[in-house]
């Protein structure tokens, strides 16, 4: 397993400097914003050549969720995700992380009555995934379907629910991304869920139980990494977290060392 990171506010803005900074810090890959990649693909290629730091995946950078309530936004999102997958293929990235939606609706807050039926949710997300499955097949990439916690999305909260979409639609290029923060809220057991869905998990996000940097909270990363090792997971573990502390750079470096120790 290799450890990558998304961008952070204290990283340099210049793309080459950003890649150099991450490489020096000890990260082994960059999960890039999709819009940044599409708009600066040549600069990203040059940074990869210069530093040897790969782009593992993309996350975000498009407008319109694959399960959007508004059809025009859903279709727009699909077109933008398609362009991101094409750009990922150019730079050697594995694929893009996509949730059904984020912040669009939750049953846990008022009005607690969805404007669309569960059958409608399944239809919209399935149509999007079927479209993107073909795009990913054409570009040699993957779509990583992300379950979010119940407060951020109402459609897909468990790894098993993501699996249901993959199997029901016979998707060949869609896999599950397991996010430790969301799993800590939703799954009965993180290690157990990782094991049960081991054949469909293609990517992983790491943050501690409170969404801050790994090692600053309550999660037992060594236990869960040991389970991943037993099940033969050899993909990326990507930091997707907020950072707290007086010195964010030092705290981030400390978190990386913590995960490296948990992998040892």
Catalytic amino acids? 146, 240
Question: What secondary structure, in 3-state letters, does the chain show?
Answer: CEEEECCCCCCCCCHHHHHHHHHHHCCCCEEECHHHHHHCHHHHHHHHHHHCCCEEEEECCCCCCCCCCCHHHHHHHHHHHHHHHHHHHHHCCCEEEEECCCCCCCCCCCCCCCCCCHHHHHHHHHHHHHHHHHHHHHHCCEEEEECCCCCCCCCCCCHHHHHHHHHHCCCCCEEEEEEHHHHHHHCCCHHHHHHHCCCCEEEEEECCCCCECCCCCCCCHHHHHHHHHHCCCCCEEEECCECCCCCHHHHHHHHHHHHHHHHC
- Placement of tokens 């900074």 in the chain: 21
214: nearest Cα among 40, 4, 74: 4
- Residue 245 and residue 214 in contact, taking contact as beta carbons nearer than 8 Å: no
- For 94, the token pair is 């594995």
Q: Cα separation of 124 and 140, whole Å? A: 24
């Amino acid at each position: 397993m290799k450890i990558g990171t998304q961008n952070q506010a204290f990283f340099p803005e210049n793309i080459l400097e950003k890649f150099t900074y991450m490489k020096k810090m000890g990260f082994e890959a960059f999960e890039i914003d999709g819009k940044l990649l599409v708009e600066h693909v040549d600069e990203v290629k040059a940074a990869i050549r210069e530093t040897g730091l790969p782009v593992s995946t993309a996350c975000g950078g498009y407008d319109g969720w694959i399960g959007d309530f508004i059809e025009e936004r859903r279709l727009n999102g699909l077109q933008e995700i398609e362009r991101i997958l094409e750009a990922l293929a150019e730079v050697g990235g594995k694929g893009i992380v996509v949730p059904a939606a984020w912040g669009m609706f939750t049953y846990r807050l008022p009005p607690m009555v969805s404007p669309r039926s569960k059958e409608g949710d399944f239809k919209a997300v399935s149509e999007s995934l079927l479209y993107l499955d073909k795009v990913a097949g054409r570009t040699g990439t993957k779509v990583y379907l992300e379950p979010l916690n119940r407060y951020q999305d109402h459609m897909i909260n468990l790894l098993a629910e993501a699996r249901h979409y993959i199997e029901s639609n016979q998707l060949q290029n869609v896999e599950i991304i397991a996010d430790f923060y969301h799993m800590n809220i939703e799954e009965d057991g993180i290690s157990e869920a990782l094991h049960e869905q081991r054949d469909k998990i293609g990517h992983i996000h790491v943050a501690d139980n409170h969404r801050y940097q790994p090692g600053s909270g309550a999660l037992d990363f060594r236990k869960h990494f040991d389970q991943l090792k037993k099940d033969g997971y050899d993909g990326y573990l990507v930091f997707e977290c907020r950072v707290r502390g007086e010195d964010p750079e030092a705290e981030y470096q400390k978190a990386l060392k913590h995960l490296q120790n948990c992998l040892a």
